[in-house]
């Protein structure tokens, strides 16, 4: 069924002329893989970076014709601005490789801020299972408890867990045209790859597809006024993560790591990744840092904690704090009531609030130095 729709979509797109009004976007090789799921169609069209704005009508025309295809309920079309080396595309029928090809100054120019959102920060980890999503949720809630207006964008394509953590489900409604209304949990606006794709299909959302979903979640969601939008990045430091980091106008990134050596090596990779895309690293958080005995309240450094603190000082990035390994953190997360909301006055909530305050401070510092260096962050 979805193959039939896909073929019909591609046929329909042959009606759309290329950017220079020659040929059509399909035969010119400008259309990425077309992804179809549950009546929703998503793809991107590659256009020269400098003409992206002027070619918005082309994007709209493509979206319009695709919506006319039988079985299509919604279409999500993004323009991908890609500059191949030497200005020529050598892989016409496939999306261009996701490896970054732009110089940092070009990236800055191609990443306009999102109106209404003051700062966007990423939470990243070198590998999965270190507690990145748990930290994202509690950090966002702690920032809100500290008085900030906060949103969470769950960009973890491999295992979007933010809906579960915030106990929200369902599909975001559209408010007008393409613009979606974010869901809300504990006063925090939430969007997730999990709302956009069926649970069994996330692996398909690679390359340009992920980027178009990310762009939509960033720019076509009624976020309203936010002090901070926290992005839960997919774990790892591969091309997919790098491309995503490159697409979002990030004020900075927070790296979550466990004390074990291996995780620390991975955290280092995370640092390097953000350096490559010119995003300041706001600091490292050590998660599952020490065991807090639930019965006696005493602390046991069973993993030789402190590795992240040492590593942070070696690398010259701020150390943001230590979060204990605590059954309560896991239980409350699994129940969709993260510890910062279920035990707001407890010790652990206090730890998250301290970290949240440090992160907010680092964001301000990074933003003001970026403003001095180059107008990289746009305030609307
Ligand atoms: P990631 O996003 O890095 O894959 P998760 O946030 O999903 O990791 O966490 C992995 C598992 O570890 C989850 O079951 C979560 O509840 C648990 N967890 C995370 N942080 C802690 C912690 N500090 N103490 C106890 N369990 C934790």
Condensed to tens digits (0 to 9), the pLDDT of residues 152-198 reads 999 987 778 999 999 998 888 988 877 899 999 999 999 998 787 65
Confidence of residue 305 (pLDDT cuts 50, 70, 90): low
Confidence of residue 200 (pLDDT cuts 50, 70, 90): low
**Where along the chain do the CATH 3.40.50.300 domains lie?**
106-373
**Where along the chain do the CATH 3.30.300.130 domains lie?**
2-84
Whats the size of the chain, residue-wise?
380
Contact call for residues 48 and 30 (beta carbons, < 8 A): no
Which range, 80-89, 138-147, 150-159, 165-174, has the best average confidence (pLDDT)? 138-147
Distance between CA 367 and CA 380 in Å, rounded? Answer: 14
Helix axes 56-67, 2-13, angle to 10 degrees: 140
Contact call for residues 254 and 123 (beta carbons, < 8 A): yes
Q: Please report the atom of ligand 1 found closest to the CA of residue 130.
A: 3
Burial class (CB in 10 A: 0-12, 13-18, 19+), 357: middle
Which range, 25-39, 74-88, 167-181, has the best average confidence (pLDDT)? 167-181
The residue ranges of DSSP E strands in 61-106, in sequence order, are 74-81
Q: Whose Cα sits closest to atom 16 in ligand 1?
A: 330
CATH 3.40.50.300 fits 106-373, yes or no: yes
**What DSSP designation does 49 have?**
G
Nearest to 30 by CA among 105, 87, 86, 81: 81
> 240 vs 288, which has greater pLDDT?
288
Helix axes 261-276, 239-247, angle to 10 degrees: 50
State in Å: Cα 128 to ligand 1 middle: 9
pLDDT at 103 over 50: no
Q: Whose Cα sits closest to atom 4 in ligand 1?
A: 129
Nearest to 267 by CA among 237, 301, 234: 237
Give the rounded percent of residues in the chain with a pLDDT score beyond 70.
83
Distance between CA 233 and CA 45 in Å, rounded? Answer: 24
Q: Please report the atom of ligand 1 found closest to the CA of residue 334.
A: 16
Protein residues whose CB sits closer than 6 Å to any atom of ligand 1:
125, 128-134, 161, 235, 287-288, 323, 325-326, 329-330, 333
Tokens coding 144: 């809100």
Sequence-distant (≥ 6) Cβ neighbours of residue 235 within 8 angstroms: 124, 125, 126, 127, 128, 129, 130, 132, 156, 158, 241
Contact call for residues 281 and 255 (beta carbons, < 8 A): yes
Q: Whose Cα sits closest to atom 8 in ligand 1?
A: 131
User: What element of type H or E holds 328?
Assistant: helix 327-334
CATH 3.40.605.10 fits 2-84, yes or no: no
Which range, 64-68, 197-201, 303-307, has the best average confidence (pLDDT)? 64-68
Nearest to 206 by CA among 182, 177, 236: 236
* Ligand 1 mutation target, pool 333, 335, 348, most atoms within 8 A of CB: 333
Residue 163's φ and ψ, nearest 5 degrees, are -55, -40
* Averaged pLDDT score across all residues of the chain: 82
**What DSSP designation does 305 have?**
-
pLDDT at 266 over 50: yes
Mean pLDDT over 276-282 rounds to 91
pLDDT at 34: 80
State in Å: Cα 127 to ligand 1 middle: 12
């Amino acid at each position: 069924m979805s193959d039939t729709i896909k073929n019909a979509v591609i046929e329909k797109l042959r009606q759309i002329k290329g950017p220079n009004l020659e040929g059509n976007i399909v035969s010119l090789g400008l259309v990425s893989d077309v992804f179809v799921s549950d009546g929703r169609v998503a793809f991107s069209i590659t256009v020269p970076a400098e003409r992206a704005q002027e070619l918005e009508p082309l994007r709209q025309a493509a979206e319009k014709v695709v919506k006319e295809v039988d079985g299509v309920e919604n279409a999500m079309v993004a323009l991908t601005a890609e500059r191949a080396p030497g200005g020529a595309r050598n892989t016409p029928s496939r999306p261009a490789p996701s490896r970054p090809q732009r110089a940092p100054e070009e990236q800055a120019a191609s990443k306009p801020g999102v109106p209404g959102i003051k700062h966007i920060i990423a939470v990243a980890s070198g590998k999965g299972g270190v507690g990145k999503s748990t930290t994202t949720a509690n950090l966002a809630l702690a920032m809100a408890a500290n008085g900030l207006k906060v949103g969470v964008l769950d960009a973890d394509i491999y295992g979007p867990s933010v809906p579960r953590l915030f106990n929200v489900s369902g599909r975001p409604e559209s408010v007008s045209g393409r613009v979606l209304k974010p869901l809300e949990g504990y006063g925090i606006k939430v969007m997730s790859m999990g709302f956009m794709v069926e649970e069994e299909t996330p692996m398909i959302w690679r390359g340009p597809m992920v980027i178009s979903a990310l762009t939509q979640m960033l720019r076509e969601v009624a976020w309203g006024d936010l002090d901070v939008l926290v992005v839960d990045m997919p774990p790892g430091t591969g091309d997919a993560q790098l491309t995503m980091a490159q697409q979002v106008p990030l004020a900075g990134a927070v790296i979550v790591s466990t004390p074990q050596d291996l995780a620390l090596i991975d955290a280092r990779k995370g640092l390097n990744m953000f350096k490559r895309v010119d995003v300041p690293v706001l600091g490292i958080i050590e998660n599952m840092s020490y065991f807090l005995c639930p019965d006696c309240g005493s602390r046991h450094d069973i993993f030789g904690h402190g590795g992240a603190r040492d590593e942070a000082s070696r690398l010259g990035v701020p150390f943001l704090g230590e979060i204990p390994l605590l059954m309560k953190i896991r239980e409350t997360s699994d129940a969709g009531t993260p510890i910062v909301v279920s035990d707001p006055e407890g010790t652990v909530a206090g730890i998250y609030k301290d970290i949240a305050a440090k992160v907010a401070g680092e964001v301000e510092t990074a933003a003001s130095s970026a403003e001095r260096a180059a107008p990289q962050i746009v305030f609307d």
